[in-house]
Amino acid sequence: MTQEHDIHEIAAAFDEAVQSATTYAELDSVRSSFLGKRSPVKAMSRRLGSLPEDERIRQAVVLNEISARMQAELDRLLPEAQQRELEARWRSEEIDITLPGTTHRRGAWNPLSQVEQRSLAVLRRLGFEYREGPEVEDPYYNFDALNIPKHHPARDLQDTFWLDGNLVLRSHTTTVQARVLAERPELPIKVASAGRVYRNEAVDATHMAMFHQLEGFWLAPGLTLAHLKGVLAFVVRELYGPEVRIRFKPKYYPYTEPSIGLDISCTRCRGAGCDACHSVGWVTLMGAGMIHPNVLREFGYHRPGVRGLAFGWGTTRMTAQWLELNKVRRLYETQQRHLRYLTRGLM
């Protein structure tokens, strides 16, 4: 069998391969098989040197003609296949811009965040500026600067989470008050803060080792207990409505003197008595008082006529009351369906 016969066999095999190739990748594979560096055509071209001159010239002409025909056929078919596949891809990815758009499911705000933002919005109307503080705190800002001496029960391991390096997880957001006063800003000072606090106590239906608080303080010349009661009454009625009833009662906090608590009429039973208010018709909401002189003295604000007022409440408890939840743990669940259901009660 002569080499020329082999050339014609390769040409026939090429025609058959081209006819069966339907995609760009298959045609490119045919090109590599029949015209690549290791193809039979290149092998025959290398063997031409061993033939007599006349035979070499004749077979070289045949081989060149067949190679040129193969290349021309592939040059025609490859772009057509590429264009055909591109158009098919465009059709499969075509978008009807007149159809409604598709969006990702939006997450749900945690009810605690909604209550917190609603409360801060009320305080901003009174001129309070929002400030944040660290949750891992120095005992000085958590206790000493706030007139909580070393023998105070709150410093016991049963109430506070102590960390390595003589640090604590803050047990109240009043640490922000201490940090702001430590900066010695000019009077008047009106600051609100909110966030997580931690208490080393038993977890039950109404208590958790981590919960949320929000509080504010105001330091300026001439403030009295009447200013404090006016601020508290305004905040409560903005949050609960003008019809809510309030009452004040004496309390004790080491960082305020005098100290008061604020109760509101139960929003569930309207004062008639129910399980939520333990049948007394009132629910404790806030703790407050005039900033203790020892705290003012600690930061250099113990001057004639300068007084401060402070107040705070647990937004975890407030949110549970608004949503009529019997377990505060439900506020910290992370399922979106559950959170959406809860937040509907705050709209």
Domain positions in the chain are 3-92, 111-346
Per the CB < 8 A criterion, the answer to whether 248 and 226 are in contact is no
Query: Residue 138: helix, strand or coil by DSSP?
Result: coil
Per the CB < 8 A criterion, the answer to whether 19 and 67 are in contact is no
Question: Which comes out higher in pLDDT, residue 312 or 159?
Answer: 312
> What does 261-303 look like in DSSP terms, one character per residue?
EEEEE-TTTTTS--TTTTTSSEEEEEEEEEEPHHHHHHTT---
Region 258-278: mean pLDDT is 75
Tokens of 330: 């439900």
* Mean pLDDT over each residue of the chain, to the nearest integer: 84
Which class for 83: exposed (0-12), middle (13-18), buried (19 or more C-beta within 10 A)?
Answer: exposed
Question: Which comes out higher in pLDDT, residue 232 or 208?
Answer: 232
Question: Which comes out higher in pLDDT, residue 201 or 194?
Answer: 194
pLDDT value of position 3: 57
Question: Which comes out higher in pLDDT, residue 268 or 314?
Answer: 314
Asked whether residue 12 carries a pLDDT value surpassing 50, the answer given is yes
Tokens of 43: 């092998």
Of 14-28, 35-49, 116-130, 328-342, which range is least confident? Answer: 328-342
Question: Which comes out higher in pLDDT, residue 324 or 188?
Answer: 188
pLDDT value of position 73: 84
Asked whether residue 61 carries a pLDDT value surpassing 70, the answer given is yes
| Alpha-carbon distance values, 2 to 47, 185, 300 (Å) | 12, 103, 111
Of 73-82, 112-121, 299-308, which range is least confident? Answer: 73-82
Question: 257: annotated binding-site residue?
Answer: yes
Asked whether residue 23 carries a pLDDT value surpassing 80, the answer given is yes
Region 179-204: mean pLDDT is 90
| Alpha-carbon distance values, 5 to 2, 8, 9, 153, 180 (Å) | 5, 5, 6, 106, 97
Of 24-33, 209-218, 303-312, which range is least confident? Answer: 24-33
| pTM tops 0.75 | no
Region 304-331: mean pLDDT is 85
Q: How many residues does the chain have?
A: 347
Region 181-187: mean pLDDT is 94
> 111-346, superfamily in CATH?
Bira Bifunctional Protein; Domain 2 (3.30.930.10)
Share of the chain above pLDDT 90, in %: 41
pLDDT value of position 218: 97
**What whole-number distance in Å separates Cα of residue 342 and Cα of residue 339?**
5
Which strands form 136-137's sheet, in the order they lie side by side? 136-137, 167-169, 162-163
**What whole-number distance in Å separates Cα of residue 215 and Cα of residue 171?**
13
Note the pLDDT tens digit of each residue in 106-141: 666 788 888 999 999 999 999 999 999 999 999 999
pLDDT value of position 1: 41
Region 74-93: mean pLDDT is 86
Query: Residue 68: helix, strand or coil by DSSP?
Result: helix
pLDDT value of position 186: 93
